[in-house]
Amino acid sequence: MIGLTRRGFLKLAAGGAAMAMAFPRRLAAGEPSRPAPAGKPNIVFIFADDMGCGDPRCFNADSKCPTPNIDRIAEGGMKFTDAHAPVGLCVPSRYGLITGRYPFRSEKYNLRDDDATIATVLKSAGYRTTMVGKWHLGFRKGDRDAKVLRGGPVDRGFDYYFGIPASLDIPPYYYIENDRAVAEPGGQIDEHHSPGVRDIQGAFWRGGGIAPGFRHEQVLPTFRDKALALLDEHRKSHPSMPMLLYLALPAPHTPWVPAPAYKGKSKCGDYGDYVAEVDGAVGDVLDKLDSLGMAEDTLVIFTSDNGPVWYAEDVERYGHRSVGPLRGMKADVWEGGNRMPFIARWPGHIKPASVSDETICFTDMMATFAEVAGAKLGQAGEDSFSIAPVLMGRQQGRPLRDATVLQAGNGMFAIRRGRWKLILGTGSGGFSPKVKPGPNAPKGQLYDLSADQGERKNLYDEEPKIVAELTALLESIRKSARTAPVLRAPNG
């Protein structure tokens, strides 16, 4: 079993709301607390849920969503214009992030007990590893104690976890601390929809089990407050130990339930207001780092797991393009499904207000974290390439990745290499409305993204040589065990 068994559980209080705000535990006596060697940054990785690359104003000046705090990270750091989720869906996107491995290499995106994760890699380098938020990579009942939940973050290298098992519209609805329910989801809640929008938009959630006191609209502020408490507690208890905080926010994924203070903050309805609340949570984390004197020693990364649920009628209604100039949405193989806003800040190491057009993927986080932490990966991170040279301005003028494999929600494959993107199949493979191809339509899709970022001109029939080369490369990658080199040593 990877990771430490949790010791010294906080006693579980009755009721979800009260326990949700409890302070996280301190490391028990005897647990390792090695001083942090000079140069190892804290790492705060903030993962929004279903936010489009056209939502933050630093990526889209015409955005109807106010995002001053996300923009603040961009002003102080580096903005990536070609960053991708390996799959435009929640579960495989998180699997790729956690393991540094393309999701297609796993059956049903199951984490194995012997899988290295970003948490186990950083623990080996002396980090305290914490997670707050949506896990969505599976829990199972314990073999001997049904109240114990196995397979979650504390079994995958995290010292501490507080969060929810899946998306905020998927029951059962309850909080988990480490490997136990804070309060069991013994009640029931009916399915809920908002009038005037599609069924999977608005304040939508599915019916099912729910814990006493659980309120959907309280989850985002609860996670924010838990993250702030963790930072406070870590600074007081472990000032010389580097920290990983993986903050997986539940928003702006459905249900769109912005807090009253954020109602009307945007010009694109509840979705935009929920984006504004995400931005407020980001600002609170940044302010906390400042107040604790941790900002200078912290690598902060903000991104989203996949694209939004935002249809053509939403663009028409609000004049807001949640994916900017891109085509598609969540689950699609088109860029709107997997090209994400991605920003990194590390004062003194990353040049402020810098921009990179390097093609990167969430699988690259494992190798990146290993490099900045001075950890060795060995066989882990099969598809992970460190972006640290780009962040620190040490890139040698050649791409980090020769190619990047992407998928749609239905498994349809695509491959990116330079300006070319090949999609094997027609349509989006995801949530976008299906368009029936004509009788003479190409069997696949090929786009030159340097000239056609919106993927409107299909060059599949016009560039047979490129199609053949990329098809062969994709097949080779799918048959291979890895794309990244083995036994990489840290460069700094």
Q: What is the pLDDT along the chain (492 residues), one digit of tens a residue?
A: 333 333 332 332 333 333 333 333 333 322 333 334 457 999 999 999 999 999 999 999 999 999 999 999 999 999 999 999 999 999 999 999 999 999 999 988 989 999 999 999 999 999 999 999 999 999 999 877 889 999 999 999 999 999 999 999 999 999 999 999 999 999 999 999 999 999 999 999 999 999 999 999 999 999 999 999 999 999 999 999 999 999 999 999 999 999 999 999 999 999 999 999 999 999 999 999 999 999 999 999 999 999 999 999 999 999 999 999 999 999 999 999 999 999 999 999 999 999 999 999 999 999 999 999 999 898 999 999 999 999 999 877 889 999 999 999 999 999 999 999 999 999 999 999 998 888 889 999 999 999 999 999 999 999 999 999 999 999 999 999 999 988 554 444
Mark 14-45 as b/e (b = at least 16 C-beta within 10 Å): eebbebbebebbebeeeeeeeebeeebbbbbb
CB–CB of 161/130 below 8 Å? yes
What lies within 8 Å, CB to CB, of 296 at 6+ separation is: 347, 348
In the three-class reduction of DSSP (H, G, I as helix; E, B as strand; rest coil), residue 335 is classed as: helix
Do the strands 187-189 and 208-210 form a parallel or antiparallel pair, or are they unpaired?
antiparallel
- Distance CA(254)–CA(232), nearest Å, equals 30
Domain ranges of the chain: 37-391, 404-479
Q: How many residues in total does the chain contain?
A: 492
Cut 0.85: pTM above it: yes
Within 10 angstroms of residue 389's Cβ, the number of other Cβ atoms is 17
Q: Which of 55, 132, 112 is nearest to 380 (CA)?
A: 112
How confident is the model at residue 142, as a pLDDT? Answer: 86
The residue among 312, 158, 216, 247 whose CA lies nearest residue 17 is: 216
User: Which CATH class, in words, describes the domain spanning 37-391?
Assistant: alpha beta
Which residues, 6 or more positions from 250, have their beta carbon under 8 angstroms from its beta carbon? 49, 133, 134, 164, 167, 168, 219, 220, 223
Q: Does domain 404-479 have CATH number 3.40.50.300?
A: no
Q: Measure Cα distances from 99 to 28, 78, 91, 452 in Å.
A: 27, 24, 12, 32
Check: CB of residue 491 under 8 Å from CB of residue 388: yes
Do 330 and 337 contact (CB within 8 A), yes or no? yes
Going from the C-alpha of 198 to that of each of 193, 202, 400, 437, the distances in angstroms are: 9, 8, 40, 25
User: Please, what's the b/e burial string for 218-229 (b: 16 or more CB within 10 A of its CB; e: otherwise)?
Assistant: bbbbbbbbbbbb
Cβ neighbourhood burial of 413 (10 Å; 0-12, 13-18, 19+): buried
Q: Which residues of 321-351 are buried (b: 16+ CB within 10 A; e: fewer)?
A: bbbbebbbbbbbbbbbbbbbbbbbbbeebbe
* Cα–Cα distance, 114 to 137 (Å, whole number): 15
Q: Do domains 37-391 and 404-479 have the same CATH topology?
A: no
